[in-house]
Amino acid sequence: MKKRYQIEQQRAVQQFRRLATEQNPNVQMILPMADIVGLLQEGVGNLLRHAGLELMHLVMDEEVKSLAGERHQQHEHRRAHRWGKEDGYCVVDGQRVPIQRTRLRSGDNREQRLGSYELFQRSGPLQAGVWDKMMRGLSTRNYGAVVKDFQSAYGIEKSAVSENFIEASREKVKQLMERPLGELRLCAVLIDGTPFKDRQMVAALGIGCDGRKTVLGIREGATENTAVVSSLLSELVERGLDFSMPRMYILDGGKALHAAVRRHAGEAAFIQRCQVHKKRNVVDHLPEEHKAAVKRKLQNAYQMADYADAKRSLESLHRELMDLNPSAARSLEEGMEETLTVHKLRVPDQLRRTLSCTNVIESAFSIVETVCRNVKRWRSGDQIERWVGSGLLVAERQFRKVIGHRQIPLLLSSMANAVSKKPIAKGAAVA
């Protein structure tokens, strides 16, 4: 529920906009040439900033005239009267700049707000500017020294910048977590849990049928467990994502991810275990002298185009590992079939390399790490979620279509054929 002052602000802005559209008064600004030359000594930017402030004063004066009439003159349609002046501020280029405004009183002796002043004072541009600059690597400590364009500007101290960033990043993440997904046509969803500052951040990223990537959502948890992942997927359902559509789900191999995806998507899910994670897990069991050879054999197997050849090669390696290191053999055997889903669907080579691992989402998290490099102290609350969400939005700006995107129609056709050939579950209704 909006507070009274918020309602009054909104009414004042609406009234000002009606004045602009219905009466459309002219606002003229006259600057002596000598003043222009003097201002230009410090550059065109200085002239434009000075002219902008002058223009704001003129616009507010015009609104005052429309409400209270000309000074010292009768005005039969007067809706307010002047009540002195007051120091205030406007937001220009992400900075608070002092400005003096006329105060008005209405007929019932209440404060009459100026819609133009409310617009000049809105914090949205300030917060957006702070968010954008901090995402580019500017720290709160250096913010004021870098962006200060007005000698009298304030509100760009470290504490004020931090407050504005908190509000801006909170709003950005809210928009990320609430944007509708019903219109997205996704051929694949990547889900990965990444350790981040002693917490586990689970992120979902979608690949559209046109090859474009979209951040779908994030969840913070102490561990990558089924409850955390299910909560994330349930939220995606509420926002319109259809889990009944045949789709690839590329996972890092965690059992929690696998269980949650199966619960939501059922037989429509074509689960691809990340081959990079699998290679890493197998090799980590081995002594140093055997790592390179086994890694090369795994790489050769996964590079094969034919499913039968790739599986035969992995099974051969499994037998070797049983003699060399049974733990490594068991690691390879676990989920082996799901590491070959892209082979089973006969995905063409370029697209197969893209969809065989979670590198796409890990690349996005590398940008998050870069964005967060200036944060020296991590506190509790929503700080991690705000920074990770903001970083993923920065990454999303830089996304390009995935490699092999022109081959996506072949993937869609393969999944549709595979779904049509799946046996009807026992007890299911038959038309």
Per DSSP, helices labelled H in 206-287 are 226-238, 255-265, 275-284
d(CA 322, CA 302): 20
- Which pLDDT tens digit goes with each residue over 243-275? 999 999 999 877 778 888 999 999 899 999 999
Bridge partners (DSSP) of residue 104 are: 82, 112
- Which pLDDT tens digit goes with each residue over 48-97? 777 777 877 788 888 788 887 777 777 666 778 788 888 888 877 667 78
Per DSSP, helices labelled H in 186-247 are 226-238
Is 90 exceeded by the pLDDT of residue 214?
Answer: yes
| Cβ neighbours for 351, distance < 8 A, ≥ 6 positions apart | 402, 403, 404, 405, 407, 408, 410, 411
Nearest CA-CA partner of 222 in 72, 384, 102: 384
Is 90 exceeded by the pLDDT of residue 27?
Answer: no
For the stretch 308-315, contacts whose Cβ atoms lie closer than 8 Å and that sit 24 or more positions apart, written own/partner, are: 310/340, 310/343, 311/336, 311/337, 311/340, 311/343, 314/339, 314/340
Question: How many other CB atoms sit within 10 Å of the CB of residue 428?
Answer: 7
Return the amino acid letter for 89: Y
CATH no., domain 184-420: 3.30.420.40
- Which pLDDT tens digit goes with each residue over 129-140? 666 766 776 666
Provide the pLDDT for residue 157: 56
Provide the pLDDT for residue 150: 45
Provide the pLDDT for residue 429: 37
Query: Is the whole model's pTM more than 0.85, yes or no?
Result: no
- Which pLDDT tens digit goes with each residue over 173-191? 999 999 999 999 999 999 9
- Which pLDDT tens digit goes with each residue over 320-354? 999 999 999 999 999 899 999 999 999 999 999 99
Q: Helix 288-303 and helix 275-284: axis angle, to 10°? A: 160
Containing 36, the helix (H) or strand (E) segment is helix 33-40
Q: Which is more confidently placed, 157 or 242? A: 242
Question: How many other CB atoms sit within 10 Å of the CB of residue 295?
Answer: 15
384: exposed, middle or buried (C-beta count within 10 Å: 0-12, 13-18, 19+)? buried
Query: What's the number of CA atoms in the CB half-sphere (13 Å) around residue 430?
Result: 5
